[in-house]
Structure 1
């Protein structure tokens, strides 16, 4: 299974599937979609209204990866459950942290 993130010179780009009103803010591991694409499953307590869930997602990713909130931005999917987010920082370190976070929660 391919990692749901790509490396760049500025950091990494991560494919997410977000569940708003998920009961807690957490990263639930990696899922393979019906089209074969891998995504990181994320759930947030916030509702998908007025950007609340997007804000919660960026805060959760920043906290999980130990970067500032300003280092995380949504590239695409602001109104969709499937999102692409960019995280600025050391790509190798960020990738290793994501691998560790998602390995603990395999399906």
Structure 2
């Protein structure tokens, strides 16, 4: 799982795709973590460009809305200029682990927004 309990909250390993066609949490997959190891990551797409932190800001806004937490509760810990990121979500670790896991599974498995 990309979610790990941490002091004062939960850390989340994220693989971000900027300049996507839509803003969406794609689901859980595998990616490269720190030290080049393969690990579980939360795959997220944003339409923002990776310029001046715009994609990171879009990531935080999207996840805050998806997870129903204030944007101020999400902090970028590592990966400011990389697609692989580590976020810290402040709050009760037990509650967050359950909530984030449940709310990070896409409701439309096809990923299609077309009728």
TM-score range, shorter chain: 0.7 to 0.9
Aligned length: 105
Gapped runs of 5+ residues in structure 2?
111-115
| Residue in 2 that maps onto 1:58 | 60
| Residue in 2 that maps onto 1:71 | 73
* Partner secondary structure for residue 104 of structure 2: helix
Gapped runs of 5+ residues in structure 1?
none
Distance in 1, Cα, partners of 2:47 & 2:99: 23
40, 46, 49: which one aligns with 1:47: 49
Deviations 1:19-68 (A, max 9, x none): 00112111111111364311000011101001100100111111111111
Root-mean-square deviation (Å): 1.9
* Partner secondary structure for residue 63 of structure 1: helix
**What is the TM-score when the length of structure 1 is the normalising length?**
0.87
Cα drift, residue 104 of structure 1: 4.2
Distance in 2, Cα, partners of 1:64 & 1:72: 12
**What is the TM-score when the length of structure 2 is the normalising length?**
0.82
